[in-house]
Structure 1
């Protein structure tokens, strides 16, 4: 996994250097609401999320860049009995997942009204995740890394101030994080983000 992170970093540096004189730099920060899917361990929506994006325009319709986000999921499970290997435990519990997906991205921008810049893109990278169960005075904690694919769509709405815009988007994240103890074969989610963007030269 360290090799993947190094490759992602070197690729980003190369892309940034080669595109330095091509077009605008765009930065954005957004609130990220995430809905876990395909996950029996935890199903509650996360309102505690944030994301940062950097994009470099190669042409008027194409950008490359990187994204980094963070999501915190928490869910209370009522008291019940769990049985395994002839052992039974009765307890309630708090389950949590902390995800930190990071990816290199490419986006295409469609033609539309002057007040809207719709886009579609794909992120490829890695995801760090920490999964924890708190029960009584005990806890079980597992952390791992996974490969990440993250397609997304959205739009920018330029504001009156030059270079400023509102960004609204949605994405689907699929990561290979695996946890046999908690019966997690992968981590997937849909998310919606809303925030602000700042650009120069667009």
Structure 2
């Protein structure tokens, strides 16, 4: 039995929920900043981050942290094909934007004003702009035409950006078209954080 711990608003959790749509698992929705769920979270992931996966087989329980590691673990458990090196690089690009935007989002929730003259903010914005432009080109070249794990991760990122109003995607028409084309998928609508 697989138990996925996370929150409905996390793009890292959502990518796994979408990918696991046809795999039996239990999703435990947590309010990770509230003390009760935080107490549970620390027992599932000492890094206090979501997602965390618990794989229960009989009396044995295995805990796996981080969406990318969870994906690799499940691929091995379910005997699926591994990602190519190109796909691994795509995930690195997607994760770099996700990580930068998560940090910026948490700072804004902590009432820290983004000062574009400060090195931290300059670096994050530069990374986000460069990588989104690169991903837009990848979509234009058909690199995300298949609905596979990297495409799911890209969709989860773009939808999270839109959901949280984190970045202006104007001019990134391939990314916006990709988002619009995949938004009606049943596993996407079933995991929509706006619900």
TM-score, with length taken from structure 1: 0.21
TM-score, with length taken from structure 2: 0.21
The structure whose Rg is larger is: 1
Higher helix share: 2
